[in-house]
């Protein structure tokens, strides 16, 4: 999110069951500078060739399916709920909440001071403001403290950016701020923190990891489609770019949103112990940057989900000449993306049981420009697949068992035969996404 959106107010370890029923090739993981997690992806790159495994593995979603229900007044923990939030909204009338709900939103992360929690609750929505309030689902502890205070245990003056000196003696004090803000909260509240380019790019893994230890839900905002600077060697170039400035063709792509989620997940300790949410912009967050398109938003969200994101937060502000507003999706400058974002949100709500279901790693091999995740849902598999880079062509999927007979393409009114464990589909461009339900059983898992 933009630095202009500054705060206005003050485990279970996931078990992985190894199932020795299926011999398959494991698709390569996402490219990260940190040790990659076991997300099931088929990203083609200069990384080492995929390894092989004698078994598929079943992996719970980060934190476990019941994670949110462990907190006082927390978010719903049923498998039909997936957080779809907007950042820093104003809810002053029932029409505000109704409009947001009709767009498929269900959560607010940060609110303006004049917003009404009563209206939010009456509309069936959930709120995570920056101060602990009765009726809230949690509290937002900090936003981008890794950037404006830095990794360190120095003394905090109590000031926020724009209010004066933040740390005394120019000694970084981000950890001290996090300790103070979380230590003052009532027990039992779900705590949320968003971080920025410090955690994503500039800090060592050890420094970034300490920030993530303070709260129950974490995220980092990197706006690959619209940030004018993110392709540089010290930002996106540090991550997917292997230390080199990224050309637009490798920077302005949806799969990099998945890279951010994967990187943050790799920093969580113990691994898989808490949910990672992702940020995606819906307007023009930078005055000298471009606006994002509806297709790009959809592709970015799905890339994050493929890499394990357990919620999405839309950065809903616009600061550019083409789109200046505090609420893109409600206002006129969101006209170009609103319909596609609404359709995406409704798709996510419909697929929430699959989003909350366990991953199956190592079941799928991908040949072509796509990445994918497999979910074990009731009596079958669901596959989320998104294009990588500027793909325009067929992608082949090989399933590590032969019981699947067809792939129903969700929402597209078509089905693809699976022959000898293999099917192919076309991904028209770098923003293409397909969801498949594989019919024919769970291969013994």
Strand order in the sheet with 191-195: 126-128, 107-111, 84-89, 312-315, 276-281, 217-220, 191-195, 139-143
The pLDDT, as a whole number, for residue 129 is 98
Contact predicate 30/44, CB 8 Å: no
- Lowest model confidence (mean pLDDT) among 69-78, 91-100, 260-269: 69-78
As a whole-number percent, the residues of the chain with pLDDT over 70 amount to: 87
pLDDT at 7 over 50: no
* Residue 186 CB coordination number (10 Å): 8
In this prediction, what percent of the chain has a pLDDT beyond 90? 80
The dihedrals phi and psi of 181, each to the nearest 5 degrees, come to -70, -40
Residue 213, pLDDT > 80, answer yes
Q: Averaged over 234-254, what is the pLDDT?
A: 95
Q: Pick the range with the lowest mean pLDDT from 34-43, 282-291, 329-338.
A: 34-43
| Closest residue by Cα to residue 219 from 254, 268, 180, 176 | 268
Using 50, 70 and 90 to split pLDDT, how confident is the model at 196?
very high
Question: Is it the case that residue 142 has pLDDT exceeding 50?
Answer: yes
Burial group, residue 169, by CB count within 10 angstroms (0-12, 13-18, 19+): exposed
In this predicted structure, the answer to whether residue 141 has a pLDDT above a threshold of 60 is: yes
Q: Which two three-digit tokens encode residue 6?
A: 């500054």
For the chain, the domains span 16-63+357-439, 73-355
The model's pLDDT over 101-140, given as tens digits with 9 standing for 90+, comes to 999 999 999 999 999 999 999 999 999 999 999 999 999 9
Q: State how beta strands 370-377 and 406-409 pair.
A: unpaired
DSSP for 15-49, written as a single string: PEEEETT--EEPPP----SSPP--------SSSPP
Token code pair at residue 326: 């505090």
Q: Which CATH superfamily hosts domain 16-63+357-439?
A: Golgi alpha-mannosidase II (2.60.40.1180)
pLDDT of residue 440: 85
- CATH number at 73-355: 3.20.20.80
State pLDDT tens for residues 294-352. Answer: 999 999 999 999 999 999 999 999 998 878 899 999 999 999 999 999 999 999 999 99
Strands 126-128 and 107-111: parallel
Residue pair 360/445 in contact by the 8 Å Cβ criterion: yes
pLDDT-based confidence at residue 45 (cuts at 50, 70, 90)? very low
pLDDT of 390 over the 90 cut? no
Q: Residue 370 to residues 27, 149, 367: CA-CA distances in angstroms?
A: 11, 38, 8
pLDDT at position 180, please? Answer: 98
pLDDT, mean of residues 149-171? 96
Whether pTM exceeds 0.75: yes
Q: In the structure, what pLDDT confidence band is assigned to residue 391 with cuts at 50, 70 and 90?
A: low
Name all contacts of 334-340 with Cβ < 8 Å and 24+ positions apart.
Answer: 334/282, 334/283, 336/291, 336/293, 336/294, 337/282, 337/283, 337/292, 337/293, 337/294, 337/297, 338/103, 339/294, 340/294, 340/295, 340/297, 340/298
Q: Is 14 within 8 Å of 62 (Cβ atoms)?
A: yes
Cα–Cα dist 177/166, whole Å: 10
pLDDT band at 26 (very low <50, low <70, confident <90, very high): very low
pLDDT interval class at 275 (50, 70, 90): very high
Does residue 242 carry a pLDDT above 50?
yes
| Window from 43-47, 70-74, 157-161, 311-315 with minimum mean pLDDT | 43-47
């Amino acid at each position: 999110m933009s630095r202009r959106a500054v705060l206005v107010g003050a485990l279970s370890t996931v078990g992985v069951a190894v199932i020795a029923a299926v011999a398959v090739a494991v698709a390569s993981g996402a490219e990260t500078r940190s040790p990659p997690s076991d997300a099931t992806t088929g990203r083609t790159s200069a990384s080492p060739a995929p390894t092989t495994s004698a078994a598929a593995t079943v992996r719970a979603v980060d934190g476990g399916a019941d994670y949110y229900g462990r907190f006082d007044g927390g978010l719903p923990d049923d498998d039909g709920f997936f957080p779809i939030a907007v950042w820093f909204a104003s809810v002053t009338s029932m029409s505000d909440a109704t409009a947001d709900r009709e767009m498929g939103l269900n959560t607010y992360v940060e609110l303006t001071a004049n917003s009404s929690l009563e209206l939010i609750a009456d509309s069936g929505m959930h709120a995570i403001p920056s101060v602990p309030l009765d009726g809230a689902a949690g509290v937002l502890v900090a936003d981008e403290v890794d950037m404006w205070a830095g990794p360190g245990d120095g003394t905090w003056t109590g000031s926020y950016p724009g209010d004066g000196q933040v740390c005394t003696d120019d000694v970084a004090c981000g950890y001290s701020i996090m300790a103070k803000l979380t230590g003052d909260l009532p027990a039992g509240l779900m705590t949320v923190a968003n971080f920025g380019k410090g955690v994503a790019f500039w800090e060592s893994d050890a420094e970034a990891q300490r920030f993530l230890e303070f709260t129950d839900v974490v995220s980092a905002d990197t706006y690959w489609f619209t940030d004018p600077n993110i392709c540089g060697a010290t930002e996106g170039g540090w991550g997917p770019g292997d230390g080199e400035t990224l050309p637009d063709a490798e920077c302005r792509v949806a799969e990099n949103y998945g890279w951010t989620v994967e990187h943050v997940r790799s920093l969580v300790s113990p691994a898989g112990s808490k949910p990672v949410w992702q940020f995606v912009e819906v307007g023009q967050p930078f005055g000298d940057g471009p606006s994002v398109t509806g297709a790009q938003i959809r592709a970015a969200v799905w890339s994050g989900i493929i890499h394990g994101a357990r919620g999405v937060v839309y950065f809903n502000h616009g600061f550019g000449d083409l789109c200046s507003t505090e609420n893109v999706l409600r206002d006129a400058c969101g006209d170009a993306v609103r319909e596609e974002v609404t359709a995406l949100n409704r798709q996510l709500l419909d697929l929430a049981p699959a989003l909350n279901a366990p991953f199956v790693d190592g079941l799928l091999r991908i040949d072509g420009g796509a990445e994918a995740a497999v979910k074990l849902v009731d009596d079958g598999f669901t596959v989320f697949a998104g294009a990588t880079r500027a793909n325009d062509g067929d992608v082949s999927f090989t399933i590590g068992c032969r019981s699947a007979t067809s792939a129903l393409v969700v929402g597209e009114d078509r089905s693809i035969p699976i022959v000898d464990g293999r099917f192919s589909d076309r991904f028209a461009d770098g923003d293409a996404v397909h969801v498949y339900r594989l019919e024919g059983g769970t291969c013994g898992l």
